[in-house]
């Protein structure tokens, strides 16, 4: 059963990256699928029309894999990464020691004047009232500046639907009531267009469905343990966490049947936005 779409204003409450109800992100877990996760960032960056930039910010930079792309695209620019996760920032600083990384919450963060590129790969799906935040950030750009955003739109996929189904079972129901609402499904593309296009000289929004070939169903579980599964596991004690994972893994094995070579295919829809001030 599909989740109900959000209202046209895109409003709603969700936990965000770094919420106090969740433990810190695990950079090593996230990087187990670095190439696959970075693919969307590469595709988003390819659509940014700005040839030269002097000041660039990677919002939700994580372990620095997307920041590295920005450095290669604009080698003369001052590139800064921001994130709420201390572990992610530690990994990013080790990876790119010459770059400034700042612990900051994008909901309250304000870019410096004349920042020409705001790049946000897979972060705003965690930010409460993210459409309003995107509007605020576009307004902070100089003329010709670019906000480039990619967000997973996968809450209807088995990988995430099965998390919620498990969370509604006993003995998890009470502890995981908030986890079920940790993310809301993204609004329709028309919401982004109607809200953000009046601020822009150019505005593009599109969906892409990635089909990631993984070794087996257990790899699907490992993938989401670094992201979407975190709000479901963090509130549980060790024995409950194991029971939840065992049940979830069994459901995933039924949902992701092997291909001819034993591998499985993880379908992963994403929404992209490129807004030019």
Give the pair of three-digit tokens for residue 164: 């919620």
Helix 86-95 with 65-73: angle, nearest 10 deg: 40
C-alpha dihedral (192, 177, 228, 63), degrees to nearest 10: 90
Predicted local confidence at residue 33, as pLDDT: 57
pTM for the predicted model, two decimal places: 0.87
Contact call for residues 248 and 162 (beta carbons, < 8 A)? yes
Predicted local confidence at residue 227, as pLDDT: 82
140 contact partners, CB below 8 Å, separation of at least 6 = 110, 111, 115
Predicted local confidence at residue 10, as pLDDT: 38
| Angle, vertex CA 99, rays to CA 86 and CA 93, nearest 5 | 35
* Cα 68 → chain centroid: 17
Query: What are the chain's domains?
Result: 27-276 (3.40.50.150)
Residues of the chain with pLDDT under 70: 1-34
């Amino acid at each position: 059963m599909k989740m109900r779409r959000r209202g046209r204003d895109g409003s709603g409450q969700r936990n965000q990256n770094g919420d106090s109800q969740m433990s810190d992100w695990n950079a090593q877990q996230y990087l187990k699928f670095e190439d696959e996760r970075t693919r969307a960032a590469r595709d988003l960056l390819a659509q940014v029309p700005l040839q030269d930039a002097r000041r660039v910010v990677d919002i939700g930079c994580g372990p620095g894999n997307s920041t590295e792309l920005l450095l290669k695209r604009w080698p003369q620019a001052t590139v800064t990464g921001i994130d709420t996760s201390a572990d992610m920032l530690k990994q990013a600083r080790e990876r790119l020691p010459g770059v400034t990384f700042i612990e900051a919450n994008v909901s309250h963060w304000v870019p410096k004047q004349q920042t020409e590129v705001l790049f946000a790969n897979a972060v705003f799906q965690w930010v409460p009232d993210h459409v309003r935040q995107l509007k605020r950030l576009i307004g902070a750009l100089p003329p010709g500046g670019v906000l480039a955003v990619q967000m997973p739109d996968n809450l209807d996929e088995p990988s995430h639907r099965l998390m919620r189904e498990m969370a509604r079972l006993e003995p998890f129901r009470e502890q995981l009531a908030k986890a079920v609402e940790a993310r809301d499904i993204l609004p329709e593309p028309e919401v982004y267009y109607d809200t953000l296009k009046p601020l822009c000289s150019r505005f593009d929004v599109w969906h892409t469905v990635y089909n990631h070939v993984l070794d087996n169903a257990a790899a699907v579980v490992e993938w989401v343990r670094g992201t979407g599964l975190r709000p479901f596991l963090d509130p549980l004690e060790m024995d409950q966490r194991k029971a939840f994972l065992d049940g979830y893994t069994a459901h995933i094995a039924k949902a992701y049947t092997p291909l001819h070579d034993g591998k499985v295919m993880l379908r992963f829809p994403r929404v992209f936005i490129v807004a030019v001030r």
